[in-house]
A and B are shown apart, each in its own frame.
Chain A
Amino acid sequence: MTDAHRAIDAVWKLEAAKIIGGLTRMVHDVGLAEELAQDALVAALEQWPRSGVPDNPGAWLMAIAKRRAVDHIRRARLAESKQAGLVRDHDEEQPRDDDVLRLMFITCDPVLPARDRAALTLRLLGGLSAAEIARALLTTELNVTQRIAVAKRTLAARERSPSADITAVLEVVYLIFNEGYSATSGDDLMRPGLCLEALRLGRMLATLAPREAEVHGLVALMEIQASRQAARTGPQGEPVQLHEQDRGRWDPVLIRRGFTAMLRARDIGGTPGPYVLQAAIAICHAQARTADDTDWVQIANLYTALVRLLPTPVVRLNRAVAVGKAQGPQAGLDLVDRLAGNPALRDYHLLPSVRGDLLEQVGRYDEARLEYERAAALTMNAAERAFLVRRAASIVPVTSGPTLGEAAREFLARSDLDTATIRSYSQTVRRLCRALGERLPLASLTADHVARVFATAWQGAAAKTWNRHRAAIRSFGAWASMPGLDGGVERRTEPPAQQAELDPVRLELVWGLEVAVRERTLWRLLHESGAAVTTVLSLNVEDIDFADRRARTGRDWVSWRSETARLLALLTDGRARGPLFLADRRPVPARMPAPQDICPETGRGRLSYPRAEYLFKQATRPLDPAGNGYTLKQLRQSGRATRARTA
């Protein structure tokens, strides 16, 4: 890159929000606004290397972009009315402060999936390139480009709700911050660039919406969390827990900024919201000169208030930690044990990690070691895993006899069973090992343990699946001469094969769900066509007859109506060949599908029935009074029923 290019890149990042925000107000379409702004950027790339960077580069870019926008509006109006006289002159319009705020509301629109909102916000407000966003969100550049394109089109296709949603914006900013602060996977615990990006967005938001207490609360929370960055990792990159951190390395400048933001939130008053409460907790920690000075009673009280607003399992787990400090480890342990059966936490490594810590404090060392090992097996973060393994190793085991892990391996290595049975058994037994820890002495495995694992792992499973897992456990128990292992697990009766179709009210709720375009298209297509799920999933882009709203499958036709037609255009997005519905990821070499099931353009495989079914079930779980989620077949049948009634 030449100096001029680097200068332009820097100017763009500093100015993108203002320029795109101002243009969006003129053209009412964020995709078009970005295109016009990019045009101006191209003009800068042509001129600045020769003429030098102008004194006010932001104004220069804005002027060029605005001229393009005015041209565009003139053309559009002309085409619409054939009367040039109607054109209002936009040349007078000045950029306004609320342009940027409005742009934030648009990019954080809850109609988009959360990660897409984050990508679009980084792109339009942070001015980051697709490559930079891909690096930040640990995905590919192609993936980011596609998602941003779909997001922009989704926004353009939809009337914007007039009431702007500030909570949605806060959520996105905090999501970006957390993505940087506690990297969910990989070898690093932090991606500081992303934290800085979120802090900048938050501080900008605080200037634009100064009367919102929660905005200042979020900024305070982020500033104080960021102030601990340097102290959070040790020399080998291992995580250092809050109470062991060297407080001298906490950044006083950021702590002061956090306090200032918190004071502003307090001045505004009102009932504290979730961010203000979380910031208050962070401030309690920041105020303690040493870990022993921490006011745990106050923190436990704040968590109790927070649990009322955000009763998520993670917040409840944090509250248990605080209570454990304020009232002693046994009190904390009681709260943690109540969370142990929560399916949402079944693979969350901090649950066993916290439980291990509390168990160690009350002197139940063997159990503590198992919990640390379990936590280590669950975390995706290498630094954290090493830390947990060390903690586990620091407790010397006193038990003897084979462990659950050893027994499981031996059981699965039997030669008298066929492969299918082994595969089925291994699912069950592996889950058991993962949930209870491989080092659990086999002799101490009880029916209670097993019942708890069943409740967390398979509570929502179909009767057939449940019974299959139960049979596997019976077989394992018989092999290990431990009869009665399945004593706490009841056999489930299988429901009648025919499932009820979805009534119109529930169907409306399904359409109201916020899901990606692929899911939306598939569901609508199933509903409108009434075709079999396998048939619909086997469709290829080249089979589609967009004009007549139908596609040929063998000797039959699948046909649909307007809603599917609209979504199909979005979904295919310039693709001309290959499977219509694609999997989220590219296939791994070991499971390479047949060539006709791979998209020639993206390299991704065809969406499978089990995956499509799983996604639908997950998405509709909150709507189902039984809490199980619906099936694609039910969706398809409801379409048939509607047609039969109207025919």
Chain B
Amino acid sequence: MRYLMMTMRDDNEATPDEKMFTEMGKFVAELSAAGILVASGGLDPAGTQMTYEDGEITVTDGPYAEAKETVGGFALVDLRDQDELTEVARRFFAITGNGVSRVHQVFG
């Protein structure tokens, strides 16, 4: 089963240090080797919002008032079940510290 994990941005979070980068690099390598990580990336905080209403598109530039509602990065993972997902998330947070991640199962 494939899941899209989105990490929510938190302005208060500490800037990542050298050690966390190394740890995260190791984690990503391990997940790729095990065939779990399909794709991942960080997202530009300056997002664009598009609204469609009665045939008209309105484009609004970000960022937004509530920073923790925007997505900071994503990972697409291929896992056996929800329990494995929890375990992978636990390992991820063990490296990054406190935070919020939103997860959706990908169909099709």
A203 within 8 A of B: yes
Chain A contacts for B78, CB-based, 8 A: 196, 199-200
Chain A contacts for B36, CB-based, 8 A: 200
Known: A193-B80, A196-B80. A203 touches B87 (CB 8 A): no
| B residues lining the A interface (CB < 8 Å) | 1, 32-36, 38-39, 76, 78, 80-81, 83-84, 86-87, 90, 94, 108
Classify chain A: how many residues form its interface, as a range: 20 to 34
Given contacts A196-B80, A200-B35, 12 further A-B contacts (CB under 8 A): A6-B86, A7-B87, A10-B80, A13-B84, A14-B34, A14-B84, A57-B87, A202-B35, A203-B33, A204-B33, A249-B108, A253-B38
Question: Are the C-beta atoms of A55 and B94 separated by less than 8 Å?
Answer: yes
Chain A contacts for B86, CB-based, 8 A: 6-7, 10
The residues in A between 216 and 249 inclusive whose CB is less than 8 angstroms from any CB of B are: 230, 249
Question: Are the C-beta atoms of A203 and B83 separated by less than 8 Å?
Answer: no
Known: A10-B84, A53-B90, A253-B76. A200 touches B108 (CB 8 A): no
Complex alpha-carbon distance, A14 and B89, angstroms? 13
Contact with B along A32-74 (1 / 0, CB 8 A): 0000000000000000000001010100000000000000000
Which of these, B35, B76, B84, B94, contacts A203 with CB under 8 Å? B35
Chain B contacts for A55, CB-based, 8 A: 94
Complex alpha-carbon distance, A200 and B1, angstroms? 12
Question: Are the C-beta atoms of A9 and B33 separated by less than 8 Å?
Answer: no
Question: Are the C-beta atoms of A9 and B90 separated by less than 8 Å?
Answer: no
Known: A53-B90, A55-B94, A196-B78. A6 touches B83 (CB 8 A): yes
A427 within 8 A of B: no
Chain A contacts for B87, CB-based, 8 A: 7, 10-11, 14, 57
Most chain A C-beta atoms within 10 Å of own C-beta, residue among B34, B36, B86: B34
Question: Are the C-beta atoms of B90 and A203 separated by less than 8 Å?
Answer: no
A207 within 8 A of B: yes
Most chain A C-beta atoms within 10 Å of own C-beta, residue among B32, B34, B35, B36: B35
Complex alpha-carbon distance, A2 and B99, angstroms? 25
The smallest beta-carbon distance between A256 and chain B, in angstroms, is: 9
Question: Are the C-beta atoms of A7 and B83 separated by less than 8 Å?
Answer: yes
How many residue pairs link A and B with beta carbons under 8 A? The number is: 48
Complex alpha-carbon distance, A189 and B92, angstroms? 36
Question: Are the C-beta atoms of A253 and B39 separated by less than 8 Å?
Answer: yes
Most chain B C-beta atoms within 10 Å of own C-beta, residue among A57, A196, A199, A230: A196
The 3 A-B pairs at the shortest CB distance, nearest first, are namely: A203-B35, A10-B83, A200-B35
Chain B contacts for A207, CB-based, 8 A: 32-33
Known: A249-B108, A253-B76. A199 touches B84 (CB 8 A): no
Chain B contacts for A257, CB-based, 8 A: 38
A-B contact pairs, 7 of them (CB 8 A): A10-B81, A14-B34, A14-B84, A55-B94, A199-B78, A200-B78, A253-B38
Chain A contacts for B76, CB-based, 8 A: 253
Chain A contacts for B108, CB-based, 8 A: 230, 249
Complex alpha-carbon distance, A11 and B89, angstroms? 12
Question: Are the C-beta atoms of A204 and B84 separated by less than 8 Å?
Answer: no
Chain B contacts for A203, CB-based, 8 A: 32-35
Complex alpha-carbon distance, A196 and B94, angstroms? 26
Residue of B nearest to A5 (CB): B83
The smallest beta-carbon distance between A523 and chain B, in angstroms, is: 41
Residue of B nearest to A230 (CB): B108
Complex alpha-carbon distance, A57 and B76, angstroms? 23
Chain B contacts for A196, CB-based, 8 A: 1, 78, 80
The smallest beta-carbon distance between A613 and chain B, in angstroms, is: 44
Contact with B along A305-328 (1 / 0, CB 8 A): 000000000000000000000000
Complex alpha-carbon distance, A7 and B90, angstroms? 10
Complex alpha-carbon distance, A6 and B82, angstroms? 10
Complex alpha-carbon distance, A7 and B88, angstroms? 10
Complex alpha-carbon distance, A579 and B7, angstroms? 61
The smallest beta-carbon distance between A96 and chain B, in angstroms, is: 14
Chain A contacts for B32, CB-based, 8 A: 203, 207
Complex alpha-carbon distance, A57 and B38, angstroms? 23
Known: A9-B83, A249-B108. A204 touches B94 (CB 8 A): no
Chain A contacts for B34, CB-based, 8 A: 14, 200, 203-204
Complex alpha-carbon distance, A192 and B83, angstroms? 18
Complex alpha-carbon distance, A207 and B37, angstroms? 14
Complex alpha-carbon distance, A484 and B104, angstroms? 70
Residue of B nearest to A199 (CB): B35
Chain A contacts for B80, CB-based, 8 A: 10, 13, 193, 196
Chain B contacts for A202, CB-based, 8 A: 35
Chain A contacts for B83, CB-based, 8 A: 6-7, 9-10
Chain A contacts for B39, CB-based, 8 A: 253
Residue of A nearest to B36 (CB): A200
